[in-house]
Structure 1
Amino acid sequence: MDEKHVSEVSSDSPSHTPAVESTQKKGKPWMHKSIKLGPLTIPAYATPQFQIIFVALVCFLCPGMFNAVNGLGAGGQVSAVDINNANTALYSTFAGVGFFCGSIANRLGLRLTLGIGGFGYFLYVASILSYNHNQNAGFLIFAGALLGLCAGMLWTAQGAIMMSYPSEKEKGRYISRFWAIFNLGAVIGALVPLGQNLHSTAGAVTDGTYIAFMVLMAAGFVLSMFLCDPRIVRRNDGSGIILMKNPSWKSEILGLFETLKNDYYIIGLFPLFISSNWFYTYHFQGVNLPYFNLRTRCLNNVLYWSMQIVGAFLVGFLLDLGKLRRSVRARYVLAGLMLLTMAIWGGGYAFQKQYTRADTLGLGKQHTGVDFTEGKYIGPMFLYMFYGFYDAAWQVTVYWLMGSLSNNSRKLANFAGFYKGIQSAGGAIAANIDARQIPFMTQFGTNWGMLAGSIIIAAPVIFFKVQDTVPIEDDLKFSDETVADVAPASEIKEIRN
């Protein structure tokens, strides 16, 4: 733990020896041993480094592959109507339960919550495969609704781990690493349909594409069961993760409302949350699907998610620049996000003026689309790549801002639940708007306005609530743990002496 503030030990605290012993490593000895393979050192299993990479691999195989499917535009189908209805069900359910998933994760534990979450992605792609043969929209929509529940659980567990496990000075780095590995899944997933459809001019992808995704998602679901118990995890300095020792359904439901009461300022970030998934529908169904043919959509998919990796690493590096105090960095990054919004979406406005929904997906229209061999492809290609870069910059920044407000895993699970629930409400509304055949320019304007407006609304929270470091006593107020439970033994000894 890199925090410099360690609360004073009160007169009724445990004696010196028990306090030090309580910070000793828990679990089996092998969990705390790193592995040396030549020049490469694999971090110990029970360390934040290993666990965050582990969670990233689960997301690589589950939501990463889901993003690859969705990025094809209409889930690889020609018509977006039923896919949009399924996405509406998905994000509506996600929004409904996501707000409470922090309480669920705190009560069930992060490992079980992550595992249950992984299953829904497998079933959803199976429903698209079924739809490919029987046009069973009911099963597709049901699978979307179930995925909403599962995704809420997976992303809440992931968010709590990603924001609370690293030390304060490393949060940007580890958030960006997670985002890069997660989106590498989408890149590899996107290469599958690209390879299968490179010489195809058809409108929909083949069964083999969906089966390949299902196999990979099943592997992610199984892998999630091997997540380490967070009570065993120790940072390099010996500090532990702040949790609840004895959570109950009552304590965690009350804790949800306690978070809203004591950390009311988080409401100022809600517009950032709802904007963060709103633009996916426009990117996939408003740009990639109508403007390009199938094989070019597949190529765009690879480029989009590849730029997510570039964006994540670059933004993560800037977020952890040690030469600037964290409060100053937070203000600069918010200003940088606004500049990106104006620049990239300004270019998007010029592009969107070139076509309409009626031009590309009107009734009776034969969907052909632009091919990557055509000269007019280059400009839209770079725009679509920058859309991917922008998504990573937005998501990594929002996670880092939430993580800068607390180091308490219990509170951050609630923050993650708020984020994913509200984000999904935005996704549901955006999918429903597209299903109603709203003009592409209207969708574009809604996205641009919401993104810029949400940054302005969030500014007061960032300026007044992000501290250079969060005192450990403040983090412990929202748990039943003590300094002796989570602080490094060296710091406890220093205070005792």
Structure 2
Amino acid sequence: MAQAEPYLDKALTNTTVSEQVLSSTKHPVKWYRSTWYNAVVLGICNFCAPGIWGAMNSLGGGGEESPWLVDTANALTFCLMVLTCAFSGVFVKYIGIKWTLVLGAAGYCPYAAGLYCNNRYHTEWAVLLGAALCGLGAGLFWMAEAAVAMSYPEPHNQGKFLGLWLMFRVGGQVLGGAVNLGLNSEKNHAGAVSYSVYEVFIALQALAPFAGLLLTVPEKVQRTDGVKVMCGIPRDESVFTELAATARLFVSKGFVLIIPLIAQAVFSEAVFFTFQGLWFTIRARALASFLSGIVAMIAGNLLGLLLDSQKLSARMRSRSSFIIILGLQGAWWVWGCIIVTEYRRTQPLYDWIDMGFGRGFAWFLFMQFQMNYMYLYFVVGSLAKNDAEIVRMAGLLRGTESAAQAVSYGLCSIKVMGEVGTIYLNFGLWAVSIIPAWFVVKEIGVTIGRVRDVKDVDTSSNEVGEQKVSGERQ
């Protein structure tokens, strides 16, 4: 099969026909303006903010003795994130993508502080306050980082950019697991982790907004293909116009079809974090946090290489990734349903020295939340038709994720749902999502996407005419 030639949509302001010409010539860039520099900066922000948040939650129930309070707090966080994601485009319009990222990153530290206060002083209200402040900031951060991840990199580097960025995120989980494992390696019983762990987490999350200051503003980013990065909302539009444009995108056919795909992917986070907190000892939870991050790093970067592969056509990359990820996910859900049905009956508490530990522990490692997460960016990024839509799509993606996770954490705070119900429900969401998502995925590289497969592209003209879109070339 011959390599397909890239076709770039005329509707994309920063990906016109000139990119076809420029992509064949590597333009010199300053390292501190490059897309890879910004991938690292974005990764550091991700490491310190949501990465450490994930580290705390990957301990099972935020590291607390019981997961129910933290599941309730997380539901509050994601409810507020829906609100801030919905209005995130307005923030970008007035303060820009960089300062929106910095402002959002500042909201994470109170979350760790709340868990610390409850762990040491038993002040449950601090957990809820920290969760609320986190929700107000995290919605802005999530939208901003998603917009940067989808708009900054060159098309042929987007998968690797996403892989590097998300590697930093799970790096926070790996570090958190390592610290917690070192402090709690002798605790082969249920209970809360040491409050000293939270002191490390607070310090790291406090660094996140300062790391965000290192991000290059879009107009100064230098890409190797010579294309200017545009990541913002026109200031001459009113707030009402911006919100109306976002609402139209939300009800567009392409986005509506992938809502179940988004929901099933992110719903699972609360499911397996609660699973871990219920059935495993402190040190086993710490080991799971550490190892699952390493597995996610490897899997995420392999997916990035597949999405960027120039040996496969764009549509083949999107379709094969979809089949692999969703196929494996279905197998894991069957496995998970069998395990939790047994656990609810026997009520075990597993340590790594116990017989039967490996079955449930391996399921937690194999769930691969990050692969689902990374693939969502690839799909949603393919739906955007211009620069402003990238920002709006990022907000819609993160808002939809937040709504699904708010429901998930809320349900997991109910004992029977946390033990078995949410896993059954997530399996159902997976099944419902496949057919609608396929209608979108099969068009990536054909009628949608930054890069498309065509037989002939006339690069001598300054305008992109009508291009005949071919199928897979033999």
TM-score above 0.5:
yes
Compared CA separation, residues 130 and 165, structure 1 to 2 (3 A): same
Q: Residues 168 and 404 of structure 1 are in contact (CA less than 8 Å); yes or no, is this contact kept in structure 2?
A: no
Partner of 1:412: 390
Q: Residues 100 and 256 of structure 1 are in contact (CA less than 8 Å); yes or no, is this contact kept in structure 2?
A: no
Q: Residues 164 and 408 of structure 1 are in contact (CA less than 8 Å); yes or no, is this contact kept in structure 2?
A: no
Compared CA separation, residues 67 and 5, structure 1 to 2 (3 A): closer
Secondary structure of the 1:228 match is coil
Partner of 1:383: 363
Partner of 1:119: 106
Aligned length: 434
How far did 1:79 drift?
Answer: 1.8
Which residue of the other structure, out of 233, 237, 249, is the alignment partner of 2:225?
Answer: 237
Residue 441 of structure 2 is aligned to residue 462 of structure 1: yes
Q: Residues 300 and 381 of structure 1 are in contact (CA less than 8 Å); yes or no, is this contact kept in structure 2?
A: yes
How far did 1:302 drift?
Answer: 0.8
Deviation string, structure 1 residues 147-171 (Cα, Å, up to 9, x no partner): 1121111111110111111122221
Which residue of the other structure, out of 249, 255, 259, is the alignment partner of 2:245?
Answer: 255
Compared CA separation, residues 300 and 107, structure 1 to 2 (3 A): same
Compared CA separation, residues 350 and 469, structure 1 to 2 (3 A): closer
Percent identity between the two aligned chains: 24
Which residue of the other structure, out of 84, 97, 110, is the alignment partner of 1:97?
Answer: 84
Taking the aligned partners of 1:447 and 1:254, their CA distance within structure 2 comes to 32
Taking the aligned partners of 2:199 and 2:311, their CA distance within structure 1 comes to 49
Q: Residues 3 and 168 of structure 1 are in contact (CA less than 8 Å); yes or no, is this contact kept in structure 2?
A: no
Letter in 2 for 1:302: F
Deviation string, structure 1 residues 351-397 (Cα, Å, up to 9, x no partner): 2232118825xxxxxxxx2111223222322222101xx21221111
Taking the aligned partners of 2:304 and 2:105, their CA distance within structure 1 comes to 26
Taking the aligned partners of 2:83 and 2:205, their CA distance within structure 1 comes to 24
How far did 1:5 drift?
Answer: 4.8
Q: Residues 315 and 446 of structure 2 are in contact (CA less than 8 Å); yes or no, is this contact kept in structure 1?
A: yes
Secondary structure of the 1:231 match is helix
Partner of 2:214: 226
Larger displacement relative to structure 2 (101-110 or 56-65): 101-110
Residue 427 of structure 2 is aligned to residue 448 of structure 1: yes
Residue 268 of structure 2 is aligned to residue 279 of structure 1: yes
Taking the aligned partners of 1:90 and 1:206, their CA distance within structure 2 comes to 24
Compared CA separation, residues 307 and 122, structure 1 to 2 (3 A): same
Q: Residues 254 and 383 of structure 2 are in contact (CA less than 8 Å); yes or no, is this contact kept in structure 1?
A: no
Which residue of the other structure, out of 187, 196, 212, is the alignment partner of 2:174?
Answer: 187
Alignment RMSD: 2.6
Letter in 2 for 1:62: A
Compared CA separation, residues 283 and 172, structure 1 to 2 (3 A): same
Q: Residues 57 and 181 of structure 1 are in contact (CA less than 8 Å); yes or no, is this contact kept in structure 2?
A: yes
Residue 33 of structure 2 is aligned to residue 54 of structure 1: no
Deviation string, structure 1 residues 248-302 (Cα, Å, up to 9, x no partner): 55253343235346x44211111112222211111011x2112111011110111
Taking the aligned partners of 2:398 and 2:201, their CA distance within structure 1 comes to 23
How far did 1:196 drift?
Answer: 0.4
Partner of 2:32: 45
Which residue of the other structure, out of 249, 253, 256, is the alignment partner of 1:267?
Answer: 256
Letter in 2 for 1:212: V
Residue 323 of structure 2 is aligned to residue 343 of structure 1: no
Partner of 1:437: 415
Letter in 1 for 2:420: M
TM-score (norm: length of structure 2): 0.85
Partner of 1:67: 54
Compared CA separation, residues 453 and 199, structure 1 to 2 (3 A): same
Compared CA separation, residues 233 and 494, structure 1 to 2 (3 A): farther
How far did 1:408 drift?
Answer: 3.6
Q: Residues 97 and 232 of structure 2 are in contact (CA less than 8 Å); yes or no, is this contact kept in structure 1?
A: no
How far did 1:4 drift?
Answer: 4.7
Letter in 1 for 2:245: G
Q: Residues 102 and 213 of structure 2 are in contact (CA less than 8 Å); yes or no, is this contact kept in structure 1?
A: yes
Taking the aligned partners of 1:426 and 1:6, their CA distance within structure 2 comes to 32
Q: How does 1:79-98 map to 2 (within 5 A)?
A: 79-98=66-85
Taking the aligned partners of 1:5 and 1:421, their CA distance within structure 2 comes to 28
How far did 1:118 drift?
Answer: 1.1
How far did 1:469 drift?
Answer: 7.0
Q: Residues 280 and 351 of structure 2 are in contact (CA less than 8 Å); yes or no, is this contact kept in structure 1?
A: yes
How far did 1:447 drift?
Answer: 0.9
Secondary structure of the 1:120 match is coil
Larger radius of gyration: 1
Larger displacement relative to structure 2 (343-352 or 82-91): 343-352
TM-score (norm: length of structure 1): 0.81
Partner of 1:332: 320
Secondary structure of the 2:339 match is helix
Partner of 1:17: none
Secondary structure of the 2:310 match is coil
Q: Residues 160 and 409 of structure 1 are in contact (CA less than 8 Å); yes or no, is this contact kept in structure 2?
A: no
Q: Residues 327 and 468 of structure 1 are in contact (CA less than 8 Å); yes or no, is this contact kept in structure 2?
A: no
How far did 1:230 drift?
Answer: 0.8
Secondary structure of the 2:415 match is coil
Unaligned runs of 5+ in 1: 9-24, 26-30, 34-43, 361-368, 473-490
Q: Residues 325 and 468 of structure 1 are in contact (CA less than 8 Å); yes or no, is this contact kept in structure 2?
A: no
Residue 143 of structure 2 is aligned to residue 156 of structure 1: yes
